[in-house]
Amino acid sequence: MRSVALIFMLGLLGGCTTSNQELVRDYHNDGLHLFKQGRYSDAEESFQAALKLQPADPGIYYNLGQTYDYLHRKQEAEKYYRECILRSPNHAGARHALTILLMNQNKQQEAVEGVEDWLKKSPNCAAAYAEDGFLWKQMGDMPRSQARYQQALALDPNDTRVLTELAEVYEKLNRPDRSMVLYQRAFEINPHQLAVKKNIDRLRSIGTPLPHPD
């Protein structure tokens, strides 16, 4: 209870000037800091303290899901991802984490049904199409994955995750020229993506040309 106790004491010292919202923020920020340090059990304590004060916040449920995932407590991780989605149906992070969790537990059909339900309920959500694209990429259906990612980009042309994952699909379809263009677009939007930069350099090193007409 190290981090929780520390912040609780800070709250007491602040007396009535420390609001409930400030305590939630402090617990949550402490949890994020501890998570980044790999101190997942301590992070869990801070996130749980934040959740008690603000039980309707989907972001806290998601961060707890991630924490339990890293603690290899998969049932609890799934529970908190689902709680997050219940409160925020289009929470892309929780949806993606749940998809991966289910796939890793050989619950492929459940993962597919979850994404299909999301698409049905949110037909204009780019993240839902992206998640379906991810699913089909994982299952080896590159043409279907490509189509879904393109639908996602039509709704959100600047989604760097979609640009990067569609680039990976084109590489598997032996179209590195198209991959190069997508990686470059993703890097222009967010130049802090080191993995994307490495992919651009790799494709350049093998003399990848500009895209040719289909």
What is the phi-psi region of residue 15: left when phi exceeds 0, alpha when psi lies from -120 to 50, beta otherwise? left
The per-residue pLDDT for 14 is 43
Low-confidence spans in the chain with pLDDT less than 70: 1-18, 212-214
The per-residue pLDDT for 212 is 64
Contact 3, 32 (CB under 8 A): no
DSSP letter string over 32-44? HHHHHTT-HHHHH
- The amino acid that residue 37 corresponds to is Q
C-alpha 132/C-alpha 149 separation (Å) is 8
DSSP letter string over 11-71? HHHHGGGS-HHHHHHHHHHHHHHHHHTT-HHHHHHHHHHHHHH-TT-HHHHHHHHHHHHHT
The pTM is what?
Answer: 0.85
User: Which residue shows structure tokens 């289910």?
Assistant: 102
The per-residue pLDDT for 213 is 57
State the DSSP code for 206: T
Considering only CA atoms, give the Rg of the chain. Answer: 20
User: At what angle are helices 20-36 and 58-70 packed, to 10 degrees?
Assistant: 30
C-alpha 9/C-alpha 26 separation (Å) is 12
The per-residue pLDDT for 19 is 78
CA distances from 82 to 34, 61, 97, 101 (A): 23, 9, 10, 11
Q: Which helix (H) or strand (E) holds 72?
A: none
The per-residue pLDDT for 109 is 95
